Amino acid sequence: MLRSLPSARTVAVLLLLVVGVGFSFSFHATADGASVTYTATAVEPGENPELVTRAASNVTNLDERIAGTSTQHQRPVQRAAATGSYTGRLDPELDIVIDDIESPYIWYNESYYTWTVSTQSGTTNATIRMQPTDPDTVFETVARPVDDAPAEVTTAIAEGTSTGLTVESGLYQQNGEYYVVAPESEGAVLAQLTKIFAGFVLTPVGRGYTAVAIGLLAYRFRGPVCDRPLTVRRAITIPALAISIALIGTVLFESGSLTRFVTGPTSAFVVAAGTVAGVAAARRQWLQLVGVSIGTALVAIGAFVAAIGVVGAIFGILAVFLGFATGIVPFGYGYWFAQPVPKD
């Protein structure tokens, strides 16, 4: 006797369960595997200024900063380099790229200079002061002693490389020798932090999806399904289940601020609420659809404000937008399950 295959709805819910569980551990997966290779390069004063300026926060590569500025708009910098100072109006194109340079030294036109810039509030008038200085002075001033550096830095200098996520890049000095410690790849740190942030965002999304899948599976196998389309009243239990699942996940797998016990479950709640909205849309219950959407947003923003203060309103709004965007999947499931199951 042939065993009947699971229905399309059952398969779809199981797939959602797999995706939800996978996303639920995305933060742990990305955070645990986050690592960047840092290298230590021996340099002499005046050597490899591109590498030095990339690693040392006290030295800025002005050539690189103004490379995209037209030559005529670079004249204030040229005059300051030639005469020691410039006072006057800066073109907005130049003002934007040099206004935030706070380092005491810059690398410009194959030489190191001391650097200060002061602007008049509300205008583009500024005073630029530049004085040539020798590389030895720059290195002696900027370099930090290795003895005071973190263990990852000493490892990189001793062995050539070191791994970590946030090793302190910079120019270091040991026994009269200078070393630049910097990521092996310029974009590696940003890429790793982006992955961790994505995992952080997807974790409550996964818990919301998991709640939707578990709720729909329980509903499907509770009894005969042919005449049991999902209703708004029955679907409301799914966002509540998302809160429970997210709280359990937070207790078991996370630590840190107590606000995570509010923000994580609230975000999962917003995602799972898409199921209720989908059911309301399928049944043409437009007032309920609007009510669910507004109510979900208000509850989420209120929870974030209660957890982290006034600034929580901003994060709450972001959570609502993210939840509504990722809630498209639960919305589709709610819309589908609100339809009667066809009889064979």
The pLDDT of residue 3 is: 54
Helix/strand/coil for 186: coil
Angle between helices 260-282 and 328-337 (to 10 degrees): 40
Q: Is 342 exposed, middle or buried (0-12, 13-18, 19+ CB in 10 A)?
A: exposed
> How confident is the model over 27-48, as pLDDT tens digits?
888 877 677 889 999 999 989 9
Lowest-pLDDT range of 105-119, 148-162, 277-291: 148-162
> How confident is the model over 150-187, as pLDDT tens digits?
888 999 999 988 888 777 889 999 988 999 998 887 77
The pLDDT of residue 343 is: 59
Q: What is the model's pTM? A: 0.74
Q: Is pLDDT above 90 for 58?
A: yes
Give the number of other CB atoms < 10 A from CB of residue 276. Answer: 30
Nearest to 204 by CA among 333, 337, 320, 32: 320
